[in-house]
Structures are given as structure tokens and as C-alpha cells.
Structure 1
Amino acid sequence: MPHDPYKALYLHIPFCVRRCGYCDFATSAVERDSPVMDEYVESLVMDIRRTSREGELGALETVYLGGGTPSYLGMSRLSSLLYALSLSMHLTPEVECTMEANPESLTEPMVRDIWALGVNRLSIGVQSFDDEVLAVLGRAHDADGARRAVAAAQTRFENVSVDLMCGIPGQSAESFRRSVEEAVALGATHVSVYPLTIEPGTPFDRAVLRGEMPEPDDDAEAEAMEAAREVLEGAGFCRYEVASYARPGFESRHNTAYWTGAPYLGLGRFAVTMTQNAERRMRVQDGQVIDDLDARQMAAEDLMLAMRMARGVEDAQVERARGVIGPEVAGAFEELAALGLVAHENGRWRPTDLGWLCGNELYGRLLDLAP
């Protein structure tokens, strides 16, 4: 079907040096010299060239290499990927090109080379600056390695993001707060904070079922998220999305594309592609349709996605949704306001801090407008 141009490209790199105990992503641990990675990168390069020939890359505004651990590919494979991108879509400075990296596989020479090849944003999976917490998570790096990785990134990159986790077994409130403070002190321009989630089938899930690990404490996680907000906003960061803070001008344009309903193309194993036109929105993964929304469901989803962001939704968007779905749209926002989950000011509905903490209730109510 004819669809709107893709605005964002996601390249999935499903390899890591090891799998962490909490991870349920579509990744596998392989040896660094494994031919499996060579074959995968060759296939991904072919996909990039094919979609370029088909005219699908001409309107891209952001590119994101995620995983897995893209930095684990090593420079030779990364060069092949980035060179193919440069030839296929003109990887100019105006295109935000993010690469995820883990501290154990990010080096200064790699930083210099990927910068020269068009990457202009690095997202580093630190999770904690506490060695004991990192050991619980099963990470392949220690705190000093994380500090060195951030410093290496800053030899070329101004736009450096750090990922942190809270709610980890054995992690004290003080330990988490120190990690947030250290991310600020090291000069990160963007920080994402994620509560630990125990996913079914993971080693952490089995440990919980055996009674060897406590389940995450919702109250402790909420307190940690509030502590992160206090530290980061106090340091001049703005919370622009439910889990992310940035210094002004360093918000992730790629992540924002997801929350604003921009069509995106996913290439690589298990990557998701979202296509849409005025009447229909589809998400496809490995050739299988995993989401097929009509105009009413699209309008409800757009409201839900927008409420993940601090700017929320303007009255005009609510009115457009009301025209598609019906008068119950206004009622839903009034109900959410009565519960303290959203607030209306200056012509916009925005999530409150309570709304972000009770996201399932907020987002579920909006999706229920068009089930």
C-alpha cells in the first residue's frame, strides 16, 4: 500500500559479548571473530542498498544502531555498515545518527573512526557506576571501564547519552543517586533511567521463582525515579520523555520520532517497521504483521504516545482525535485530570509526575478509546 515516507531508520545488531541476567532482547552472545557476525553485517548492508534503490531512505532524519551491542561488532564491520549508509542516504551532519555502545567494547580509535563515518551521537549502556551492582546485573564492564568509555566518547562527541538502571537487587538508594550524580559530573548531555523489569524466562525471573532474588519494589523504584528527577533537573537537565532527560538541545530526535507517530523502517533480525497513511498504520516484524490499526486506533495511539513526552498533546490534536473517535476523548482527559495523572495548561494536556509513575493507567485509558 502507498505509505508516508520513513523518517527514522533502526538497524538491529543482535550480538553481545554476554547476555545479562535481566535481558530478554533478541540477542545472542557470540565470539568476537564469529563468522555469524560477518554474515549478518553483509546481509544488513544488502538490505540497506536494496531499500535505498527502492527509494525508502530519501526522507530519513534519524538513524539508530541498536541491539545488542553495536560496538561489539568491531571497527571493520561497523565501517562496512556506515559506509553503506553514507552511500545510500547521504549521512550528513543534519541526520542524527546514534550508535549504542557498551563500555567493554568502546575504544578511542573506534570513537574517532565512527565519528569520521557519520555517527554523531553515542548512547552508552553504563547501568551503574557501582561495581557491586554491575556484578549483580552480570555486566561485562566495571565502574572504571564505564568512566573510561564516557571519556573516550567525549574525545570526539559532544552528544553523549548514559543509560542507568534502578530497582536492582542490592542497589541502595544512595548507590543509585551517586550513579546519577556521576553521570552528570562526567559531562553526559543525555541520561535515560530505567527501572529493572523481571521479564519471563530470563535468569533473573528464574532466580525470583526460586526465591534467590527479591522481586523489584515498586515503591523503591518510584523513589529512585524521583531522586533521578531531582538530581538531573537540579543540574540543568530537562525531562522531555518519561525515562529520559537532556540538556537543552540534546533530546533524542530518534526516540522523539517514535513518540510522535513518525513512520520508521527497521532493518535486521527482529527489527520492527511501522508504515502508515491516513487510514491505516501497520507494524511488521520479520514479515509478520504485529499491529494493524485503523484511523480510530491510530488517533488513540497518537494520544497515548504523545503523553510519554513532557510536552503532551495540544488542544488541537485532542480535537482532531475527538473528530475521529467521538466525544469520549474529552471525557477521558477529564477523568485522568481528576485522578491527578494529567494537567491542562497553556492549551496543552501534559502528564504529571504521578501520571508518569502510573503510566499503565494513563496509557491504558487512552488506548481504550479505540480498542
Structure 2
Amino acid sequence: MHDPYKALYIHVPFCKQRCRYCDFATQAVDPSSPLIREYVDHVILEIRRAGKQGLLSQVETVYLGGGTPSYIGLGALTEIMYILGLSMHLTDQVECTMEANPDSLTERMVNDLWALGVNRLSIGVQSFDDNVLRTLGRVHDAQAARRAVEIAHGRFQNVSVDLMCGIPGQSAESFRQSLRTAIELGVTHVSVYPLAIEPGTPFDELVSRGAMPEPDDDVEAEHMRIAAQELAQAGFERYEVANYAKPGFQSRHNTAYWTGKPYLGIGPSAATMTQNAQRRMRKQDDVITDDLDARQMRVEDVMLGMRMSQGVSEETLSRACELAPELREVMEGLVERGLVRHCDDRWQPTERGWLCGNELYGAIFDVAP
């Protein structure tokens, strides 16, 4: 027996073309490819099965990610959302997010998705600078990105954009202007991701043969500081290491991952996390990727909490220390190193802790084995 799922992720593994930095489980196909039809039929079957088994009865957030969900077309998305609405309580209280790219988001799609129960759009802008977009291998330009956000606002108040930083050739001023453009367009949520070179990607090949420099840690840190400054001045709150939101517009789905809520994945390569008081298990493509006992679960809860601006409470830390008493000494050491602050009843990451995330998270999770 496991705790009920609180979040549902539906993976859409198709794009118009793969970006040069992308290592996600996605493929570029023609919009008329039979692979899309096969995928939709499979997802509908899985949603129906999950609904009949009662697995969706307590789901609080839904997320259609990818890939590019908007790329498979309004007809396919309508089928998926219709079956989803029949299989669970897709009410206004359920946060339902769909990712979209500027090249495939249309006004009709926005109107129909809103009517079908989607209430949050996350648009993969990455930059409002055409030169940066060409470097990344994106299929849209800055004008299309602006237009997509404007179209989204025709129905949606809750609109998020993704922006990338630390990209070779991207100046601090270019990144700053992308942030300001997003703010001017009235988005309510911004995710900021430093570029990472992933194995097997075109960027990895370019770096390997010296045709492109590796991302500069100092430049990425500078860009992240610019994001924090610009977004704070515009009324955004940084609630997680890479995420900023206007008050009331934090992503409940993303927060579910960082606060240990069980989630169900449907679609190719979608991950599922099940847990009870004794065990937490993650699997992907029917392969178990994590299998944690009670001690490891409690330590992981502290580690994940350090991704959030609110950190973890003394109660959460004390509960973890019941099974892993050495964790308290580790946390006190992180305070001495300037990666964590201990204020009142909470342990919270510092700005330096976020910038040195691998050091912070690694030190905590080293306690788990």
C-alpha cells in the first residue's frame, strides 16, 4: 500500500526539432507522424486505467510537459484533456499546467484548452534575444515569443515563461533585457535555468572539439544574481532556487516534487514516485531509479527542502535526526560555511547555498546511506 498520488505528470515526447542543448526524452517528428496517434491512444488508455483504479482521486495538480505538448495539435490535446476530465475531478481547484512553445501556440488552442480545464500555461521562451535563440537552436524568434505570451493572456492570468542564462555569447545586458521583457509582458511566473552541457547533445559535441566554450560558473552566478534583482524589484518572490512568482502564483505542481508528495507519471519516460511511512520508490520506464528506506526519506526531505526559500522547519530536521542523528552536525557545519542560515525555527539556504547547490545538497544527502 502507498500514499495517494497528489500530482500527475503527462509526458509528451515530441518536438518540431530538438534544441542543441536538449537531452530530454523527446524526438523531432512531422506533425502528421503516426507516432503521435499511437502516443495519444496509449496515453488515453493509461489515463482511463488510472482513473478506474482510483489512482487519480486525490490528484491536486496536473502537468503536461515534454517535449512540446502544443506541437501535437489541438485535436490530440482535446482528446487527452477530455478523457482526463472524465477520469478525475478536474475542477478549478486543480492546478492544470501545459507547456507550450511559441511556434505552436495559437489563439484557438488557448481558448479551447482553457475551456477543457487547463488553467496555467508555461511557455518555453528561453530568451527574447534573436541571437541567443539562434545559438540555442530554437525554432521561434523573439517576436513570436512576445506574441505567444500575449495570446496566452487572452484567457490565462497564470502564465509562466522559461528563461536560460549563462549561454555562450549571451551578455549580462541581453539576459537583463529578456527578464525585463517578460516582466513587461505581465507574466506571473519565471523559471531561470543556467545552461548545462549534457552528454550526447550537439552542445556537448561542440564543447568536446573546442568549437564552443564551456559555460562559465562565474557568468552563470552573475546572471542568477541579475535575475534575483530584476524580478524582486518587479514584485516577484523567489520561492525555489530557479523559480520566481508573483504572490499567489507559485507552481503547486513543482512544489509537490520538492515537498515529497507522491506523483504519477503517464507517457514515455515519465517518472512515478510512490511512498508510505517506510519506503519511497521512484521508477521510470518500469525501472526503479530510487528505493529509499525511512532514514533516507527523511534526509531527502531535508535536502529537497533546501531548494525552497522557506527551507525546512526545526520539526522536520528533528524528525530526520531521529533516524540520522549526524545530520544536525552536518547542518550546523553548513551554517558555518555560509551555505545555510538558522533563523528562529527554520533552516534556510543562503544565496551562496543556492549558487553552490551541488555542495549543499551533496553534503546533506551523504548522510543518507
Which category describes the TM-score, using the shorter chain as reference length?
over 0.9
- After superposing on structure 2, the runs of 4+ consecutive aligned residues of structure 1 that deviate more than 2 Å are none
Letter in 2 for 1:71: S
1:333 and 2:326 are equivalent in the alignment = no
Which residue of structure 1 lines up, in the alignment, with residue 355 of structure 2?
357
1:241 and 2:240 are equivalent in the alignment = yes
Which residue of structure 1 lines up, in the alignment, with residue 261 of structure 2?
262
5 Å matches for 1:48-63?
48-63=47-62
Which residue of structure 1 lines up, in the alignment, with residue 365 of structure 2?
367
Per-residue Cα deviation, 1:99-140 (whole angstroms, up to 9, x for no partner):
000000001110000000000000000000000000000001
Letter in 2 for 1:331: E
1:287 and 2:286 are equivalent in the alignment = yes
| TM-score calculated relative to the size of structure 1 | 0.99
Which residue of structure 1 lines up, in the alignment, with residue 344 of structure 2?
346
SS for the counterpart of 2:274 is: strand
The separation in 1 between residues aligned to 2:237 and 2:285, in whole angstroms, is 36
Which residue of structure 1 lines up, in the alignment, with residue 318 of structure 2?
319
The separation in 1 between residues aligned to 2:364 and 2:40, in whole angstroms, is 40
Which residue of structure 2 lines up, in the alignment, with residue 158 of structure 1?
157
Letter in 1 for 2:334: L
The separation in 2 between residues aligned to 1:333 and 1:140, in whole angstroms, is 45
Question: Cα RMSD over matched residues?
Answer: 0.5
Letter in 2 for 1:333: M
SS for the counterpart of 1:104 is: coil
The separation in 2 between residues aligned to 1:86 and 1:42, in whole angstroms, is 16
- Displacement, 1:298? 0.5
Which residue of structure 1 lines up, in the alignment, with residue 121 of structure 2?
122
The separation in 2 between residues aligned to 1:329 and 1:212, in whole angstroms, is 44
The separation in 2 between residues aligned to 1:148 and 1:90, in whole angstroms, is 32
Which residue of structure 2 lines up, in the alignment, with residue 24 of structure 1?
23
- Displacement, 1:359? 0.2
Which residue of structure 2 lines up, in the alignment, with residue 111 of structure 1?
110
SS for the counterpart of 2:63 is: strand
Which residue of structure 1 lines up, in the alignment, with residue 40 of structure 2?
41
Structure 1: state its 5+ residue gaps.
Answer: none
Letter in 1 for 2:355: L
The separation in 2 between residues aligned to 1:252 and 1:110, in whole angstroms, is 22
Letter in 2 for 1:246: A
How high is the sequence identity, in percent, across the aligned residues?
A: 66
Per-residue Cα deviation, 1:246-294 (whole angstroms, up to 9, x for no partner):
0000000000000000000000000000000000000011111111000
SS for the counterpart of 1:360 is: helix
The separation in 1 between residues aligned to 2:90 and 2:72, in whole angstroms, is 20
- Displacement, 1:369? 1.1
1:12 and 2:20 are equivalent in the alignment = no
The separation in 2 between residues aligned to 1:370 and 1:323, in whole angstroms, is 13
SS for the counterpart of 2:367 is: coil
- Displacement, 1:169? 1.1
The separation in 1 between residues aligned to 2:203 and 2:29, in whole angstroms, is 21
SS for the counterpart of 1:76 is: helix
The separation in 1 between residues aligned to 2:66 and 2:299, in whole angstroms, is 29
Letter in 2 for 1:369: V
Letter in 2 for 1:361: E
The separation in 1 between residues aligned to 2:346 and 2:353, in whole angstroms, is 15
Which residue of structure 2 lines up, in the alignment, with residue 252 of structure 1?
251
| TM-score calculated relative to the size of structure 2 | 0.99
Letter in 1 for 2:258: W
Which residue of structure 2 lines up, in the alignment, with residue 98 of structure 1?
97
Per-residue Cα deviation, 1:15-45 (whole angstroms, up to 9, x for no partner):
0000000000000000011111011011000
- Displacement, 1:346? 2.5
Per-residue Cα deviation, 1:75-101 (whole angstroms, up to 9, x for no partner):
000000000110000211000000000
The separation in 1 between residues aligned to 2:304 and 2:367, in whole angstroms, is 14
Per-residue Cα deviation, 1:190-216 (whole angstroms, up to 9, x for no partner):
000000000011000000111111100
Which residue of structure 2 lines up, in the alignment, with residue 310 of structure 1?
309
The separation in 1 between residues aligned to 2:67 and 2:344, in whole angstroms, is 41
Which residue of structure 2 lines up, in the alignment, with residue 73 of structure 1?
72
SS for the counterpart of 1:200 is: coil
SS for the counterpart of 1:59 is: coil
The separation in 2 between residues aligned to 1:251 and 1:265, in whole angstroms, is 21
SS for the counterpart of 1:199 is: coil
The separation in 1 between residues aligned to 2:22 and 2:152, in whole angstroms, is 25
The separation in 1 between residues aligned to 2:12 and 2:289, in whole angstroms, is 21
The separation in 2 between residues aligned to 1:304 and 1:123, in whole angstroms, is 26
Which residue of structure 1 lines up, in the alignment, with residue 226 of structure 2?
227
Letter in 2 for 1:329: L
The separation in 1 between residues aligned to 2:299 and 2:287, in whole angstroms, is 23
